[in-house]
Amino acid sequence: MADKDFTFLEEKIQGVKRVENAVQVPREKLIEVMGFLKEQGFDYLHDLTAIDWQKERFTMVYRVRSYTKPDEVTIKADVERDNPRVPSVVGIWKAANWMEREVYDMFGIVFEGHPNLKRILLEDDFEGYPLRKDFQP
Amino acid sequence: MALERYHRKNDESYLEKTLIVGTNVVLTTLEKLFNWGRGNSLWPLQFGLACCAIEMISSGQARFDLARFGYEVFRPSPRQADVMIVAGTITKKMQPAIRRIYDQMPEPKWVIAMGNCAIGGGPFADSYAVVPGADQFLPVDVYVPGCPPRPESLFYAMLKLKEKVMNPEKARAKDDGR
Amino acid sequence: MKTQELTINMGPQHPSTHGVFRLILNLDGEVATGSTSVPGYLHRGLEKLAEGRTYAQFIPYTDRLDYLSSMSNNLGYVQAVEKMLSIKVPERAEYLRVIFAELQRIANHLVAIGTFALDLGAWTAVVFAFNYREKIMDLFSMTCGGRLTYNYMRIGGVSHDIPWAFIPRLRYFLDYMEDSLAEFQRLVTGNEIFQARTKGIGIISSEKARDYGLSGPNLRASGVNYDVRKNRPYGIYERFDFKACVLENGDCFDRYMVRVMEIEESIKIIRQAVRDLPEGPVMAQVPRNIKPPVGEVYHSIENPKGELGFYLVSDGGPKPYRLHIRRPSFVNLAVLDEIVPGWLVADVVAILASLDIVLGEVDG
């Protein structure tokens, strides 16, 4: 199941490469990869989150599945820590709307093209991004 | 009530005396009458925040019946309630809303802090978004420990509150300086 | 006559919002023209707290996520950690886990259908539903001492074996539950007013359900046949014979009916598990200090509310480096703003109740 998905991705789009059991995608190719996956029948955006590696970068993790087929693809994209900006996938799956707002709330990653990027779980005037490793309450 | 005075003098119960004598007049003070009325018909405010709210709801249902004490009338509006049962974790986002609801309740009013989170933050005390306890900004009358406390614990707390309401000189609360 | 739209606040303290949830409604008369959901009033920062607790210390926190289905949350988390450590759970523990998870599903759905009827104004139904649920609470507290939060599933098995009185009481409960469900159906499902208030209300089409990433009974009521226990089985669910309950219309009545049907299916699963329950230990040999190898794992289960997932990233130490919880109520709630426009205020309450969210899991 895993091998079949990732090789077809690697063939179709330049720049993606397999890393453990996920696919590493450069940030510029993200929308292209996601659109391609949606066309192939991956209609279930299961999870969208981020990890803070303290060495100057975040990693966005997207978990994409299908309701009808048993396949699953995990996409990872690296974002630099200083000015984290990632294109939004709301146009592809509406489920990304609230998930991206949560990642913005917790990490401060700005999603370009999001229709309503405001804090969702914390107060609107909260200072700081709690899930960053250098957060001081 | 006058009942205690007679008990202290080692007399028979006042009621038996009145029945023997044949009167139906009771002498008391207005203060004691109102406290008796308030204590026996506290109207809780339906204010569940988290998991403790489910135990509060269970205590009002058929098995653990809060109605046998007279307290089953959970009011959704703070304007009509006497006692606010803070059941659940208090977050910093929710704190101004809770204070506002407390201010909206008419006097006399009491607060029961139900559950570990309302007492001192519970398991989330060191979180960045949690207020460690309801007594940071509200004057609490009764604390009910437990995570979540069983419905029987909540009953014991309501009865303790009733004792406090009916005998205010027994429990001097801190001044509401906050 | 000039009219104007009114913006009202169904504030964090409201009897019908199932917790501290704020819904800002734009009304034109009685009809809602738009809404803005403001969650976050119960955000306790569990993901950050996890970075300060060891793997075993975090199990009680999973209880308090979706506090109406604590056993399932426990199960998802310990299975994720076991996947990371490649621990094999003994057979008796696997069967016990299935029994408790399905009992929890029945308890959760009882609260869901009871409070759904309560929000429509039927004060009697919720008393019946909570009464049935008390028998399940007795079974749980007999085994592990807790009524709402259990900390029962542990890494490598379960914490206590069942007492001798459990199986006879469980058998009595299963028969009692079948009769009780029939009684509840006579009370509620066939009621004309209930049907008029829920049929055709709040329709979520199958495309919209898939686009918004719904899962659980909300999805299956819209016609999509996706049940994690069938599509991506975990534990020993392949050994049981049950069906995923799917209906087509996607309205409030169907979401309610799917939950009722799921109670019946859970009773079937529990009967099979009790019949096949083997003897043996209930806990595997697990190291005292759990330090998983560097890496990550993701595991998802079928919570009564939807698909609950745990994403653990380990750096080799005793505490997780990053824990992310994919919460079904959070994802399910996002569809509310989309389907509210056009319905009356009373229907908005019915739609919110039929989505069956728990604010502890929306994390505010």
| Residue with more model confidence, A68 or A21 | A68
Q: Do B128 and A130 touch (CB under 8 A)?
A: yes
Categorize the per-residue pLDDT at B177 as very low, low, confident or very high, splitting at 50, 70 and 90. very low
Categorize the per-residue pLDDT at B75 as very low, low, confident or very high, splitting at 50, 70 and 90. confident
- Between CA B62 and CA B59 the distance in angstroms is 8
Model pLDDT, residue C173:
95
Among C290, C65, C49, which residue's Cα sits nearest to residue C156?
C290
| SS3 state at C196 | helix
Report whether B149 contacts B52 (CB < 8 A).
Answer: yes
Q: pLDDT tens, C295-350?
A: 899 999 999 999 999 999 999 899 999 999 999 999 999 999 999 999 999 999 99
With 50 as the cut, is the pLDDT of residue A3 above it? no
Q: Is A100 on the interface with C (CB under 8 A)?
A: no
Categorize the per-residue pLDDT at C122 as very low, low, confident or very high, splitting at 50, 70 and 90. confident
Categorize the per-residue pLDDT at A7 as very low, low, confident or very high, splitting at 50, 70 and 90. low
Q: Residue C71 is inside which H or E element, if any?
A: helix C70-85
- Between CA C219 and CA C306 the distance in angstroms is 8
Model pLDDT, residue C3:
84
With 50 as the cut, is the pLDDT of residue B96 above it? yes
Residue C344 phi, psi (nearest 5)? -75, 165
pTM attached to this predicted model: 0.91
Domain coordinates in residue numbering, chain C: 6-363
Q: Do A74 and C311 touch (CB under 8 A)?
A: no
| CB crowding C17-42: b at 16 or more within 10 Å, else e | bbbbbbbebbbeeeebeebebbbbbb
Model pLDDT, residue C109:
95
**What is the complex's ipTM, to 2 decimals?**
0.89
Q: Is B94 on the interface with C (CB under 8 A)?
A: yes
Q: pLDDT tens, B40-67?
A: 889 999 788 998 999 999 998 889 989 8
Which of the residues B47, B55, B58, B64 would you substitute to probe the C interface, choosing the one with the greatest number of C C-beta atoms within 10 Å?
A: B58
Residue B159, min C-alpha distance to chain C (Å): 22
Residue C281 phi, psi (nearest 5)? -75, 160
Tell me the average pLDDT of chain A: 85
Pairing status of strand B83-87 against strand C157-158 = unpaired
With 60 as the cut, is the pLDDT of residue C123 above it? yes
Model pLDDT, residue C210:
92
Model pLDDT, residue B3:
59
CB-based burial label for C117 (10 Å; 0-12, 13-18, 19+): buried
- C153 DSSP β-pair partners: C158
Query: pLDDT above 70 covers what percent of chain C?
Result: 100
Which chain B residue shows the shortest CA-CA distance from A137? B128
Q: Do B91 and C111 touch (CB under 8 A)?
A: no
With 60 as the cut, is the pLDDT of residue A53 above it? yes
Cβ-based neighbour number of residue A8 at 10 Å: 12
Categorize the per-residue pLDDT at B8 as very low, low, confident or very high, splitting at 50, 70 and 90. low
Among A58, A59, A65, which residue's Cα sits nearest to residue A43?
A65
Residue C72, min C-alpha distance to chain B (Å): 15
Superfamily of domain C6-363: Cytochrome-c3 Hydrogenase, chain B (1.10.645.10)
Model pLDDT, residue A55:
79
Model pLDDT, residue A5:
54
Model pLDDT, residue B2:
60
Query: pLDDT above 70 covers what percent of chain B?
Result: 82
Which of the residues B46, B47, B59, B63 would you substitute to probe the C interface, choosing the one with the greatest number of C C-beta atoms within 10 Å?
A: B63
Q: pLDDT tens, C166-198?
A: 999 999 999 999 999 999 999 899 889 999 999
- Between CA C49 and CA C44 the distance in angstroms is 9
> What mean pLDDT is predicted for residues A47-63?
90
Which of the residues B94, B128, B130, B131 would you substitute to probe the A interface, choosing the one with the greatest number of A C-beta atoms within 10 Å?
A: B128
Residue B15 phi, psi (nearest 5)? -65, -40
- Residue appearing with tokens 């306790």: C44
With 60 as the cut, is the pLDDT of residue B1 above it? no
Q: Do C213 and A93 touch (CB under 8 A)?
A: yes
Helix C91-119 to helix C252-275 angle, to the nearest 10 degrees? 150
Q: pLDDT tens, C11-41?
A: 888 887 788 899 999 999 889 999 999 999 9
**Which residues of chain A are within 8 Å of residue C300 when distances are taken between CB atoms?**
46
Q: Do C333 and A45 touch (CB under 8 A)?
A: no
Among B42, B96, B100, which residue's Cα sits nearest to residue B66?
B42
Query: pLDDT above 90 covers what percent of chain B?
Result: 51
Which chain A residue shows the shortest CA-CA distance from B92? A123
Q: pLDDT tens, C73-90?
A: 999 999 999 999 999 999
Which chain B residue shows the shortest CA-CA distance from A126? B93
With 80 as the cut, is the pLDDT of residue C201 above it? yes
Q: pLDDT tens, C35-70?
A: 999 999 999 999 999 999 999 999 999 989 899 999
Model pLDDT, residue B12:
53
**Which residues of chain B are within 8 Å of residue A123 when distances are taken between CB atoms?**
92-93
Query: pLDDT above 90 covers what percent of chain A?
Result: 41
Categorize the per-residue pLDDT at A15 as very low, low, confident or very high, splitting at 50, 70 and 90. low
With 50 as the cut, is the pLDDT of residue A70 above it? yes
Q: Is A99 on the interface with C (CB under 8 A)?
A: yes
C93 Cβ contact list (under 8 Å, min separation 6): C156, C157, C158, C281, C282, C283, C284
Model pLDDT, residue A11:
63
